[in-house]
Structures are given as structure tokens and as C-alpha cells.
Amino acid sequence: MNAQERKELQLTAAKVRLGIVEGTFHAKSGHPGGSLSSADLFTYLYFKEMNIDPKEPKAPNRDRFVLSKGHCAPGLYSVLAQRGYFGEEELQKLRHIGAMLQGHPDMKGTPGVDMSSGSLGQGISAAVGMALAAQMDQKSYRVYALLGDGEIEEGQVWEAAMFAGHHKLSNLCVIVDNNGLQIDGPVSQVGGPEPIDKKFEAFGFEVMTIDGNDFEEIEKAFQAARTCSGKPFAIVAKTVKGKGVSYMENQVGWHGKAPNAEEYAIAKEELTKTLEVLENA
């Protein structure tokens, strides 16, 4: 990745973060913390990694993405808007009555959403089904599923992981957003899902642990996932919850709370400044 590419991805990620803040502020609810921690992953997936076309969101041979941690919908919606699946103005209507953008992803009404999700642990199974369909039909599309590190406390995640490993679904790439925090506190104190890498390894995955807020590391991981054969791939992405908004970073309280007007103004100012610094770099 050259400096220009990195800069462009960072600029896009800053815009995605602005959209997350915008959406949750206008919704007066929602989940900014985990959306912000995943913003760089969303950006890389939708702007670099996946074979997709916003003009043909249902193209049969497209790559698929399942947001298994469905509560981070503001992040997904923001990147979909940036990528041109729908207008950015939709973000301001997030969670409103009659709005397209539901609190959790709804595939029926939202272009670019490949699977409805929100009930934790279920998205990964659907992603496994998609990867299996590709394998059965000898199609080359790839399937990506983003999970939370709290989410993997759900038993169904490991049912799905066992199946994926057993069936050697090498077209499946699971990403765990390992920001270390869940609603009730640090994951290490609440559910104890760690060690995450060793668990996925034991279920037959090739695993890579990276800094999930660093585009060069993200790129290396997705490239490794593409070349991995005979096994599904898991990326344990160490991230900072609330990344990009100073007062939200590593604060568990920002898991599922919207900024008020004052906080919104600060977040907007900070992210706008990030954009300016990047543009002038």
C-alpha cells in the first residue's frame, strides 16, 4: 500500500466515522463505540477488499458481507452511504419511524445489506451458509463476517466455527473486532472469551492477529486470507472502541449511547480536523 492509497483510505474512514456520529446523534440512540472501532475495517472491506458494485447490490457473484455484530449498523450504513449504495442523507433518519435504516440491519429494505442481523451469534451462521453455497456451486465469491469480541460468548458462534473448519470453507473470512469492551465491562472480566486466536485455531481456522485500526496491517491480513487454502480464515483485529472521538475512546459507556448536542459538536469538530489534517498532509 503506497502513501496515497493509505491517505485515501484514512480520509474515507474519517468520513465513515463522521457518518456514525451523525447517525447516532440524530437517532438519539444506537451504538457508536463498536461502529467507530470497526470503521477502518468497514472502509477497507468496501473500498479495497470486496468485489462489489453499488449499482448492482444483488449481483449473484458479488462478495458478501454479514455484520454479525448487527448493533454496529451505524458503521455499516455509513460505509454503504460513502460507497454510494444510498444517499448520505439517509443516515440522519437512522432509527426513525418509516426510515429505511433500521436499528439493526434489515436486508429486505436496505441496498447493500446482505443479511439481516442483530441477534448476536446468528450472522456468522448465515455467512457460513453463503460460503457453503459458493462452494457447492463452484463459484468464486468470498464471504466476510464481522463479529464482536463480546458476541463470541454466544455458543452458536462456535457451532458455526466448527462447521466452517470441518467443511474447510476457505472462501470464508471471519473478523473479530477485538476492542476489549462489552456492555457490562471489559470482555476479560465479563465473559472471558480469550484467547480468541487459539479458539479459532482449535476450530480449524488459519488465524492472524493485527492492529485493526492500521490499514497496512488490515491489508496484510486480508491478503493472507485470500491466499489461505483449505481452511477458513479468522482475523483478530485489535481495535480501540470509540476510535477517532477522543472522549469515546476505550470508554465502555459509549457502547450503546448517542452523543448529545454538545458532545456531537465536539465529535464533529475532532473528525473534521482529522479530515483537514489528512487532506493537507
Partner 1 sequence: MREIVKKATRESFGEAITALAETNPNIVVLDADLAEATKTGIFKKKYPERFIDCGIAECNMVGIAAGLATCGKVPFAASFAMFSAGRAFEQVRNSVGYPHLNVKIVGSHAGISVGEDGATHQCCEDIALMRSIPGMVVLNPADHYEMQAAVKAAAEYQGPVYIRLGRLAVESCNNNEDYHFEIGKGITLREGGEITVIATGLMVSEALKAVKALEEDGIDARLIDMHTVKPLDKELVLKAAKETGRIVTVEEHSVMGGLGEAVASYLSEVCPTQVTKIGVQDVFGHSGPAVDLLKEFGLCADNIRATVKKVLGK
Give me the least distance between CB of 74 and partner 1, in Å please.
19
Nearer to partner 1, 55 or 108 (CB): 108
Q: What angle do CA 78, 84, 85 make, to 5 degrees?
A: 80
Contact 112, 57 (CB under 8 A): yes
Of 229, 232, 81, nearest in space to 143 by CA: 232
| For helices 73-83 and 3-27, angle between their N-to-C axes, nearest 10 degrees | 120
Nearer to partner 1, 137 or 216 (CB): 137
Nearer to partner 1, 33 or 70 (CB): 70
> Backbone phi, then psi, for 243, in 5-degree steps?
-50, 130
Give me the least distance between CB of 93 and partner 1, in Å please.
20
Give me the least distance between CB of 281 and partner 1, in Å please.
41
Nearer to partner 1, 133 or 190 (CB): 133
Give me the least distance between CB of 70 and partner 1, in Å please.
9
The number of angstroms, rounded, from the C-alpha of 20 to the middle of its chain's C-alpha atoms is: 12
Give me the least distance between CB of 96 and partner 1, in Å please.
19
Using CB under 8 A as the criterion, which residues of the chain lie in contact with partner 1 when the complex forms?
60, 64, 66, 106-108, 114-116, 118-119, 121-134, 136-137, 155-156, 159-160, 162-163, 166
How many Å apart are CA 82 and CA 85, to the nearest integer? Answer: 8
How many Å apart are CA 31 and CA 154, to the nearest integer? Answer: 19
CA 223, 229, 233, 235: dihedral to nearest 10 degrees? -30
Nearer to partner 1, 125 or 170 (CB): 125
